[in-house]
């Protein structure tokens, strides 16, 4: 068989193609984005001629599209991150009750840490809540194999199935053995009209709920028989056990290997010294005790439904079990329930009793330390874990890129409000509701232009609520701004705008149109006129959408045109109703504004307004050289915003 070095997301995509995938949809969201991008690349290369792939406007739409395909008998897949599942949860809950004809796999990438998300939510809970099977791969190799398994289970039981990789699985690489395509799966016969099977009436929901419970019990039996990639038991007949799953299983196996290597190293020292003297005898005694302690039984558990037979076999004869799992105590809770139901006196240790951290991402170093404590490895206690994993990296908070048009948009609004309030005896409060995207970083100093950020599309609705509350409290109506990006506008921004028009809200909506879905890597959206494959499609004009909703006060401006941008922001402050400023300038990943700039040190007075007002990462101050301000040409994109701030015209084109 051929092998290929694959990222986890690439492995999922190729595993789906191997399983006969015909339709894939989703919405970009780290860490899941590369799955659909890989499928699009395979389509372009001619390796998947019978495949349809699209970036949908949001996760709900993507899932509903995939459901229609699965009802027609084809194998379909939809991808998203864990917060995207919140958007798709409404159709997914009902879809499990209706069922599918062709296999449907919902890939939901969780983000422990969180590294690039609003939450650390655990999709395994959703699987249990929605009564949907969840596969939890621990490596790219398993992600490849489990994708095929997920399609098998989905098609066998006519239910959607969740595949839940986490960030480290999605973005790690491994040599994956590529298997031949699956030949035996149901042939699609198209959508069949039969007894309102796919119409969710209450009576049908009740009958299907009964069937779902039966299916879950049968699935648990299947999971017990799957073996290596889903559930397995390692280790000799020990009195202690370790239960884990997903990426935590990989950490556990690596940590145990490290402890075994440390034990071997200790043994070489013991026997090279011949165990001489009291110190040698004591060390030898401790070493043998540690070798006995490290004889531990390990159980790898898939997420849901829990394979009770496998777990009962694992628990037999054990006194205590340490559960190692990121995010929530899902496996731990299941073990406690199984022990209680079967009158087993096994002590379960994990998050619930403080033996493992209940938040944040795990690591091999952390798991190693917890295993030492659990196993009582005394002679190895002085052996440090890998110091490269223990040494904290310098803090590096995210910032808007040098030349990002969002910085110019925020600054234009900020300056317009400052000047507006400078002419008033009593300053009018300004509230800036933000949203999910690169522009969330507008909250950082010195901009400080994001006061709220809840979820995709929420800023527009949040602003309406804040405005209503301030009036109810007897305050002057605030200058109520809601910032939203172009991709988020199409994702979930439009319903909030409709609500604002309908309820006659008094808000200023700032659409930051940078011609891409920037934060997740530059994916296309309906306002770009491009599909996922790069082919031209109908471009949906944001301004025309706004006009169609009855909004008459719409201003379009390039934020890098400093004077015009400031005037545009100022022009809407005194007005009432729903007003919109559309700031239009491409992301620097799409187009660079200009050539790098430089600072004339003879003109520069070291006032640092360019630094203190903008916070551009390309501008810095060398404190060791009498506070000389300079521009890093390798970062500067020539947007020219700093030129408009400098009162001495000390910034210009680089020589």
pLDDT value, residue 267: 59
C-alpha to C-alpha distance for 152 and 150, rounded to whole angstroms: 5
pLDDT digit string (tens) for 570-616?
999 999 999 999 999 999 999 888 899 999 988 999 899 999 999 99
pLDDT at 293 over 50: no
Question: Are both 232-390 and 597-653 of the same fold?
Answer: no
Residue 150 confidence (pLDDT) above 50: yes
Tokens of 650: 């000390």
User: Which carries the bigger pLDDT value, residue 181 or residue 169?
Assistant: 169
> Could you tell me the CATH superfamily of domain 405-584?
Thiamin diphosphate (ThDP)-binding fold, Pyr/PP domains (3.40.50.970)
Confidence class of residue 285 from pLDDT cuts 50, 70 and 90? very low
Q: d(Cα 3, Cα 7) in Å, to the nearest integer? A: 13
User: For position 601, what pLDDT does the model report?
Assistant: 87
Asked if residue 192 has pLDDT above 90, the reply is no
For residue 200, the model assigns a pLDDT of 81
Section 18-35 average pLDDT? 95
**Torsion 39-45-51-57 (CA) sign:** positive
pLDDT higher than threshold 70 for residue 274: no
Please state, for a pLDDT cut of 70, what percent of the chain lies above it: 89
Tell me the pLDDT band of 559, cut-offs 50, 70 and 90: very high
CA proximity to 413, closest of 562, 542, 518, 517: 562
What pLDDT, on the 0 to 100 scale, is given for residue 1? 67
pLDDT at 13 over 60: yes
Average pLDDT of the residues in 187-197: 77
Report the pLDDT value the prediction gives residue 278, as an integer from 0 to 100.
55
Rounded CA-CA distance 404/407 in Å is 6
How many separate helices (H) and strands (E) can be counted in the chain? 22, 22
CB atoms within 10 A of CB 288: 13
- Tell me which residue of 572, 625, 571 sits closest to 601, measured CA to CA: 625
Q: What are phi and psi of 115, to 5 degrees?
A: -90, -40
What are the phi and psi torsion angles at 143 (to 5°)?
-60, -40
Q: 533: pLDDT confidence band, cut at 50, 70 and 90?
A: confident
CA distances, 222 to each of 156, 231, 304 (Å) = 11, 10, 12
**DSSP state letters, 260-309:** HHHHHHHHHHHHHTTT-HHHHHHHHHHHHHHHHHT--EEEE--SBS--HH
Q: How confident is the model at residue 452 (pLDDT cuts 50, 70, 90)?
A: very high
Q: What is the pLDDT of residue 391?
A: 67
Which CATH architecture best describes the domain 2-226?
Answer: 3-Layer(aba) Sandwich (3.40)
* Structural contact between residues 607 and 647, judged by C-beta atoms closer than 8 angstroms: yes
Q: Average pLDDT of 468-496? A: 94
Q: What is the CATH number of domain 597-653?
A: 3.30.70.20
- Quick one: average pLDDT of 275-291? 50
Instruction: Provide the phi-psi class of 7: left if phi over 0, else alpha when psi is between -120 and 50, else beta.
Output: beta
Residue 382's pLDDT is: 46
Residue 83 has pLDDT above 90, yes or no: yes
DSSP string covering 596-626, please? Answer: -EEE-TTT--S--HHHHHH--TTEEEEGGGT
Please determine, for residue 228, whether its predicted confidence score (pLDDT) is greater than 70: no
Domain chopping of the chain, boundaries: 2-226, 232-390, 405-584, 597-653
Q: Report pLDDT for 292.
A: 47
For the whole model, what pTM was predicted? Answer: 0.87
Given the candidates 3.40.50.920, 1.10.1660.10, 3.30.365.10, 3.30.465.10, the CATH classification of the domain at 232-390 is 3.40.50.920
Arithmetic mean of pLDDT over the chain: 89
Say what the pLDDT of residue 422 is.
94
């Amino acid at each position: 068989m051929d092998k290929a070095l694959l990222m986890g997301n690439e492995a999922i995509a190729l595993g789906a193609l191997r399983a006969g995938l015909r339709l894939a949809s989703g919405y970009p969201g780290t860490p899941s984005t590369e799955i659909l991008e890989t499928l699009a690349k395979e389509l372009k290369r001619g390796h998947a001629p019978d495949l349809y792939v699209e970036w949908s406007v949001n996760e709900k739409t993507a899932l509903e599209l995939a459901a229609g395909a699965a009802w027609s008998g084809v194998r379909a897949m939809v991808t998203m991150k864990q917060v995207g599942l919140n958007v798709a949860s409404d159709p997914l809950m009902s879809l499990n009750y209706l069922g599918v004809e062709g296999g449907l796999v919902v890939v939901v990438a969780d983000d422990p840490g969180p590294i690039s998300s609003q939450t650390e939510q655990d999709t395994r809970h959703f699987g249990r809540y929605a009564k949907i099977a969840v596969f939890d791969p621990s490596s790219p190799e398993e992600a490849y194999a489990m994708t095929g398994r997920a399609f098998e289970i989905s098609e066998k039981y006519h239910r959607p199935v969740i595949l839940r990789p986490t960030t480290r699985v999605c973005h790690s690489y491994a040599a994956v053995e590529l298997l031949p395509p699956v030949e035996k799966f149901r042939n699609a016969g198209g959508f069949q009209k039969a007894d309102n099977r796919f119409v969710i009436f209450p009576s049908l929901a009740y009958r299907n709920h009964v069937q779902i419970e039966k299916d879950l019990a049968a699935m648990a039996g299947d999971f017990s028989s799957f073996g290596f990639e889903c559930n397995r038991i390692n280790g000799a007949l020990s009195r202690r056990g370790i239960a884990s799953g997903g990426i935590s299983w990989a950490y556990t196996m690596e940590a145990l290997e490290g402890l075994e290597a440390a034990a071997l190293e200790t043994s070489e020292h013991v026997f090279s010294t011949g165990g001489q003297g009291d110190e040698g005898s004591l060390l030898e005694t401790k070493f043998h005790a540690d070798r006995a302690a490290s004889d531990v039984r390990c159980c790898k558990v898939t997420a849901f439904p829990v394979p009770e037979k496998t777990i009962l076999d694992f628990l037999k004869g054990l006194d205590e079990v340490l559960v190692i799992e990121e995010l929530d105590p899902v496996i731990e809770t299941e073990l406690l329930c199984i022990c209680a139901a079967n009158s087993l006196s096994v002590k379960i240790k994990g998050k619930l009793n403080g033996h493992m951290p209940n938040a944040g991402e795990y690591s091999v170093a952390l798991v190693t330390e917890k295993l030492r404590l659990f196993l009582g490895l005394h002679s190895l206690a002085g052996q440090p874990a890998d110091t490269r994993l223990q040494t904290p990296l310098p803090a590096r908070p995210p910032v808007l890129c040098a030349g990002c048009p969002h910085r110019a948009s925020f600054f234009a609004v900020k300056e317009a409000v400052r000047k507006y309030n400078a002419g008033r005896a009593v300053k009018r409060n300004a509230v800036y509701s933000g949203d999910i995207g690169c522009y969330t970083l507008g909250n950082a100093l010195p901009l400080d232009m994001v006061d709220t950020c809840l979820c995709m599309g929420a800023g527009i609705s949040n602003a309406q609520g804040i405005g209503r509350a301030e009036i109810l409290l007897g305050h002057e109506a605030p200058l109520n701004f809601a910032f939203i990006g172009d991709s988020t506008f199409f994702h979930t921004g439009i319903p909030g705008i409709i609500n604002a028009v309908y309820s006659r809200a008094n808000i200023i909506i700032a659409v930051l149109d940078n011609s891409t879905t920037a934060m997740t890597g530059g994916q296309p959206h309906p306002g770009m006129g491009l599909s996922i494959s790069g082919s031209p499609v109908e471009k949906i004009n944001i301004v025309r959408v706004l006009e169609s909703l009855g909004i008459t006060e719409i201003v379009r401006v390039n934020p890098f045109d400093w004077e015009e941008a400031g005037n545009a922001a100022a022009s809407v402050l005194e007005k009432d109703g729903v007003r919109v400023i559309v700031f239009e300038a491409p992301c620097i990943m799409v187009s660079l504004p200009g050539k790098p700039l430089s600072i004339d040190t003879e003109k520069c007075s070291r006032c640092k307004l360019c630094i203190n007002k903008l916070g551009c990462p390309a501008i810095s101050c060398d404190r060791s050289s009498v506070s000389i301000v300079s521009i890093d040409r390798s970062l500067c994109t020539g947007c020219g915003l700093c030129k408009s701030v400098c009162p001495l015209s000390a910034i210009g084109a680089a020589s």
